[in-house]
Amino acid sequence: MSIVSSGWQRKNLGEVCEIIKRGIAHNYLERGGIFVLNQKCIRDHQINYSQARRHNLKEKKVHSERYVQLGDVLVNSTGTGI
């Protein structure tokens, strides 16, 4: 760790974050369930829920680590997100 100007600290990425990895196969619904975010949902530094689909939690559970939390950084690994 090193101190940089304005009181900021410099750390390795692994010291301040963790990787969840890629998504999981979903069982989609027309209504109900929870939103599933894909690369179409992440544009212009925002999440657009109109592009999201819905997952059926009764058919397949989703571990809590996969839920987006305040402060999370989402990375689009397809190369098409902006």
- Please answer whether residues 39 and 23 qualify as being in contact, where contact means their C-beta atoms are separated by less than 8 angstroms: no
Q: What is the pLDDT of residues 11-35, one digit of tens each?
A: 887 888 777 666 667 778 888 888 8
Provide the whole-model pTM. Answer: 0.55
d(CA 25, CA 36): 10
Quote the pLDDT of residue 77: 66
> Residue 82 above 70 pLDDT?
no
Three-state SS for 68? coil
- Please answer whether residues 44 and 82 qualify as being in contact, where contact means their C-beta atoms are separated by less than 8 angstroms: yes
| Helices within the chain (DSSP H only) | 13-16
Domain spans of the chain, in order of start: 24-65
% of the chain beyond a pLDDT of 70: 77
CA dihedral for 64, 66, 70, 72, sign (positive or negative): positive
Mean pLDDT computed over every residue of the chain: 77
Closest by CA to 27, choosing from 60, 66, 51, is: 60
